[in-house]
Structure 1
């Protein structure tokens, strides 16, 4: 019995080892069992395609020859993820689609004609007709075909990029506060400092438009000449090239989009702090994150095209046409910038197309030139609602860029070759033959080099550019008597500091306008010609209407500023400005009443005595001196305003009024009929002029916050 047991045990062990040896032999020949991993199929991977995906793999070539001798070939089967789950549960109409007889030498296979935006499961296997072995299941995704949906996704991605840049720029402006304003306002010596300042501010806020707006504001205020503003705008052109480097380094070489939500997690809690500057930094951080999230979506939305696609071939074919192709793509870049209303967004789109292999390096470089023109057209359109200074500033910007693009187009082949040679010399790659890897670095270098060269060339012609701008944008005659706001007509600025600066300049202009009414009234007092008297009365009436409307417009503008969160200092300044415009409007009303009194005097053929005219003339002198001090104070920073001089002149006006009143009362006691007829009008005029003096001192007090 024991003998039989041991014999049976020996047979079983022999069978076990025999089967194990066979299995090991089969393991060398056939890499896997069904539904298990195939050892000989290595590096299994997939790549998303439009309405399809490509599968790649490697074979273990140690057993390649043996597989080939046994008649094996590669097979692939795939199913939707949902279909694969249904198939495992035995549902009908959920079978796998199989592809057979793929040569063993192949390492890739592309599956097409699938559903877009769908998840698939696939397996790669080995088959010789009789036996089929599959790898483990892998997942792949398909892209939606290019159409209206993906076009809208692209537009949305571009919109997120623009919005992110806007939020970031505004946040940086608010965080910097008045420092940027004072920095820009201090540029009074030479254009070199202007270039450095324009570069610095644009690099910080990442928006040449912000720098241009602030520059135009100072030109309008008389704090900066057109020549100085030209230097600042040249620097802004260099500063805006930083955007290209940021996109090139962080947008394509470093995946900041992956960390965007982390940055938002840091920035979002800062929104709930009470301090305005901390909130501003929150906006800057969130805007920065949205910018790169938008750039990431933009890269995914741009269609991936190979060298054989019709669109790529269009650009490749046209780029070889000398000169004409450059002009065509310059125009294309200009058009793109006008459409998206942002040179930075147009630059991001161009660099994304280059990274995707859609457009060659030469085409992108020409489009960059066009984007420099496109951004000036935007500024020209924005200046149409501004004053003559705004139009001239925009024209200087346009002339600078258009002239620069013109010489760049003429020298375009040499510039492109120089960029290629420079990149080869520094080991930055070849932008011509390997555009997906190195073209964007070439674009950033080209953009910077062009703007630097343009500044170095055009800086010597600034006075000529300014003269051309002044000749092409002429000041209209009689513009002072046409109602318009020169500084706040274009809308509310992005920060209270900049908005108050615009309002301050408008109020300074308002004060100068009311001072003219004093001159008109004095002329009316001594004018003997009825025709000229009528013109002066009409002019004073027109100015009075202007003062009424300016008060309403400035008050509304200040009200809009007050809707946001304000510091204590800003609130005091707004209250003072409201008081000032009210006093200036009252001055306009008083001079209008004086003109009507003098009109009645002329109609009644009443004449002031020589002594009365002399006394009024002396009072007008004092009032005009008070106006000079007031207008000077309106243009100064509130911290620099001294009320001593204004108070001294106000005392002189009061004393002169008392002197005139005393003489007038003495004259009334003589019952002189001539004095009786003109006495009431005479009393109205000198009393009104004293009231003007009161409102003038109120204006100076409003500047320093004594309301």
Structure 2
């Protein structure tokens, strides 16, 4: 084996890692909505968690990505630590699928159909079809499928390169003498651990072992401890991702390490203990890529079966290992979730909905205490407004970073919707503070509005409460039909505020009201009208999302100028409902 063989080996490893990353990223985008649905059904049930972990890992072909995602979810306070145990176990089983796919490289037959299962036979076809789809397809979903096919072909070519580079070792006496050292199980575990920790991919290290096995020099006794060491080595990614997170998130990495270390220790003790009495003959037999995939699966399934009943014990050990005082729950998303954009977008939307409800409640609170101001209520409104400001700051920055990722069309539209709406939620809470200032002025200056002004203001307030309720519910549920009711009501509120202002001028001319009272009334009405405008902007963003456009002003102009019978019907309905 000369220098060129080493170049081919590392080049093959580079292609393998690139192909795996390409395939994983595209699979994640393609699985997008399904992953959201699965996460929505996440419960504390360990068996459901096990299936969840297995399913997501098969979908995105990376147990490391799942673990990093779990660290981010726990660090953000989205997921409870105990819910992660089953997911981690499931991800270890899910990752065995990759080893089975790579074992196809060892297929040997003259039969045409069996020969077509060899990667060197079908990979060129997959690469060609994938490139054509990437270049010609217009939908992102089909282009993602093309990316998956190309990534898989590159992965298989990398595997083939690694296999070809080590094939001269089959006849090398030096290689045989080196392999004898791996008859020591502890050295085998250590080797698998170190190699996997360095390249941070258990799939790649398993692939290298499968390539070496094709030389005929790897026995079952050598491969078994190396595979177990590779399982421990994959925890390096979780350890790195746990740097700079809260204590609870660090415990996710501890649980991952415990699972693999305990499984390896138990398996080693049982296997070699029985071997001492029974003397397994197969231990000196050479192992094939399929044999490595089989043992990899057996080890992870048996370890899961052994430790699944003791999930709470693992949690308690992790808590004792990383001991700390209870921490305040982190309110915002962890940047580690940027590696899984679909999950991050889903959680961003959840927080945007929470932000919307806080903004709505702040406005409703200000309206309710308009004529009964108190410092306690004022503090509550200011607190809500401060929370909304923080939400906007964090969500805005996070969404900008998230938009830099390669996203599906659906995810891109979701980010656009949130970026178009969170500013409106923040402005609603600002107007709540403005209304609060008017409330304080009414109390301090003993402003007394006429009964007529009171009655008219109550009508506008009732309409504003309804538009807020419709808008937030439409945003929460993505209900386009409900969102379409906002603009007609907003037009009615505009008319109401103008009518109240004109009526005030008439009362002023008759001496039934004062200019000072008029200033306060005008401030209140202006803020009410501005809130309804922001509700209109939010509703338009929801509607335009369905049409893949965010031309807000163009949409509103078309709506008002067009002879839309449904708009007219709703306008008349609200006009009759809220009249002064």
TM-score of the pair, normalised by structure 1: 0.59
1:169 to 24, 36, 41: 24
Question: Taking structure 1 as reference, are residues 652 and 274 closer, same or farther at Cα in structure 2, changes over 3 Å only?
Answer: same
1:282 alignment counterpart: 146
Q: Which has the higher contact order (CA 8 A, sep 6+)?
A: 2
1:447 to 272, 286, 296: 296
Question: Taking structure 1 as reference, are residues 455 and 663 closer, same or farther at Cα in structure 2, changes over 3 Å only?
Answer: farther
Instruction: Verify the 8 A CA contact 2:381 2:433 in the aligned structure 1.
Output: no
Confirm whether residue 491 of structure 1 aligns to residue 338 of structure 2: yes
1:156 alignment counterpart: 11
2:264 to 408, 425, 436: 408
In 1, distance between residues paired with 2:74 and 2:474?
Answer: 18
Instruction: Verify the 8 A CA contact 1:373 1:401 in the aligned structure 2.
Output: yes
Instruction: Verify the 8 A CA contact 1:195 1:235 in the aligned structure 2.
Output: yes
Deviations 1:389-448 (A, max 9, x none): xx8577446515523531431441323677999998xxxxx652123xx26544333321
Question: Taking structure 1 as reference, are residues 534 and 156 closer, same or farther at Cα in structure 2, changes over 3 Å only?
Answer: same
1:464-543 counterparts in 2 under 5 A?
476-477=327-328, 479-480=330-331, 486=333, 490-491=337-338, 493=340, 501=346, 503-512=348-357, 514-515=359-360, 517-518=362-363, 528=374, 540=385, 543=388
In 1, distance between residues paired with 2:390 and 2:93?
Answer: 45
Unaligned runs of 5+ in 1: 1-49, 51-143, 320-324, 425-429
In 2, distance between residues paired with 1:631 and 1:306?
Answer: 74
2:33 alignment counterpart: 178
State the secondary structure of the residue aligned to 2:523.
helix
In 2, distance between residues paired with 1:699 and 1:221?
Answer: 27
In 1, distance between residues paired with 2:447 and 2:427?
Answer: 26
What is the Cα deviation at residue 621 of structure 1? Answer: 9.0
What is the Cα deviation at residue 611 of structure 1? Answer: 9.6
1:357-376 counterparts in 2 under 5 A?
361-362=220-221, 364-376=223-235
In 2, distance between residues paired with 1:515 and 1:396?
Answer: 36
TM-score of the pair, normalised by structure 2: 0.69
Instruction: Verify the 8 A CA contact 2:417 2:542 in the aligned structure 1.
Output: yes
In 1, distance between residues paired with 2:486 and 2:317?
Answer: 42
State the secondary structure of the residue aligned to 1:379.
helix
Question: Taking structure 1 as reference, are residues 286 and 421 closer, same or farther at Cα in structure 2, changes over 3 Å only?
Answer: farther
In 2, distance between residues paired with 1:620 and 1:634?
Answer: 21
Deviations 1:230-277 (A, max 9, x none): 544432221111122222343576752365334423433333222434
Deviations 1:680-700 (A, max 9, x none): 345424531443244235424
Instruction: Verify the 8 A CA contact 1:486 1:506 in the aligned structure 2.
Output: no
Deviations 1:145-196 (A, max 9, x none): 5xxx655543322111111112223344455563454455456695434433
In 1, distance between residues paired with 2:543 and 2:313?
Answer: 41
What is the Cα deviation at residue 620 of structure 1? Answer: 8.0
Instruction: Verify the 8 A CA contact 1:341 1:375 in the aligned structure 2.
Output: yes
Question: Taking structure 1 as reference, are residues 329 and 523 closer, same or farther at Cα in structure 2, changes over 3 Å only?
Answer: farther
Instruction: Verify the 8 A CA contact 2:362 2:385 in the aligned structure 1.
Output: yes
Instruction: Verify the 8 A CA contact 1:171 1:281 in the aligned structure 2.
Output: yes
1:705 alignment counterpart: 544
Deviations 1:627-684 (A, max 9, x none): 6665554443x368744887899799889979987997798679799x7556534542
2:58 to 198, 203, 206: 203
2:425 to 584, 593, 598: 584
In 2, distance between residues paired with 1:193 and 1:695?
Answer: 42
Deviations 1:193-232 (A, max 9, x none): 4433443443344223455677789989999876666544
In 1, distance between residues paired with 2:165 and 2:180?
Answer: 20
State the secondary structure of the residue aligned to 1:491.
helix
In 2, distance between residues paired with 1:157 and 1:343?
Answer: 16
Instruction: Verify the 8 A CA contact 1:218 1:224 in the aligned structure 2.
Output: yes
Confirm whether residue 432 of structure 1 aligns to residue 283 of structure 2: yes
In 2, distance between residues paired with 1:611 and 1:248?
Answer: 85
In 2, distance between residues paired with 1:159 and 1:244?
Answer: 17
In 2, distance between residues paired with 1:580 and 1:220?
Answer: 26
State the secondary structure of the residue aligned to 1:486.
coil
Confirm whether residue 260 of structure 1 aligns to residue 127 of structure 2: no
1:250 to 105, 109, 114: 105
Question: Taking structure 1 as reference, are residues 503 and 679 closer, same or farther at Cα in structure 2, changes over 3 Å only?
Answer: same
2:203 alignment counterpart: 344
In 2, distance between residues paired with 1:554 and 1:565?
Answer: 15
Deviations 1:267-291 (A, max 9, x none): 3333322243433332222222211
In 2, distance between residues paired with 1:700 and 1:467?
Answer: 47
In 2, distance between residues paired with 1:342 and 1:614?
Answer: 69
In 1, distance between residues paired with 2:465 and 2:319?
Answer: 32
Instruction: Verify the 8 A CA contact 2:17 2:155 in the aligned structure 1.
Output: yes
Unaligned runs of 5+ in 2: 109-116, 546-551, 553-580
Instruction: Verify the 8 A CA contact 2:75 2:330 in the aligned structure 1.
Output: no
In 2, distance between residues paired with 1:627 and 1:468?
Answer: 48
In 1, distance between residues paired with 2:459 and 2:248?
Answer: 41
What is the Cα deviation at residue 477 of structure 1? Answer: 3.5
State the secondary structure of the residue aligned to 2:283.
coil
As a proportion of its length, which structure holds more strand? 1
In 2, distance between residues paired with 1:624 and 1:383?
Answer: 45
Instruction: Verify the 8 A CA contact 2:81 2:251 in the aligned structure 1.
Output: no
In 1, distance between residues paired with 2:136 and 2:306?
Answer: 48
In 2, distance between residues paired with 1:679 and 1:405?
Answer: 75
Deviations 1:86-139 (A, max 9, x none): xxxxxxxxxxxxxxxxxxxxxxxxxxxxxxxxxxxxxxxxxxxxxxxxxxxxxx
In 2, distance between residues paired with 1:573 and 1:337?
Answer: 37
In 2, distance between residues paired with 1:397 and 1:208?
Answer: 13
In 2, distance between residues paired with 1:293 and 1:403?
Answer: 33
1:270 to 133, 140, 149: 133
In 2, distance between residues paired with 1:492 and 1:234?
Answer: 21
Question: Taking structure 1 as reference, are residues 573 and 546 closer, same or farther at Cα in structure 2, changes over 3 Å only?
Answer: closer
As a proportion of its length, which structure holds more helix? 2
Q: Which is greater in Rg?
A: 1
1:58 alignment counterpart: none
Instruction: Verify the 8 A CA contact 1:373 1:402 in the aligned structure 2.
Output: no
Report how many aligned residue pairs link the two structures. Answer: 529
In 2, distance between residues paired with 1:352 and 1:346?
Answer: 10
1:696 to 529, 535, 546: 535
Question: Taking structure 1 as reference, are residues 169 and 542 closer, same or farther at Cα in structure 2, changes over 3 Å only?
Answer: closer
In 2, distance between residues paired with 1:665 and 1:402?
Answer: 76
Question: Taking structure 1 as reference, are residues 677 and 406 closer, same or farther at Cα in structure 2, changes over 3 Å only?
Answer: same
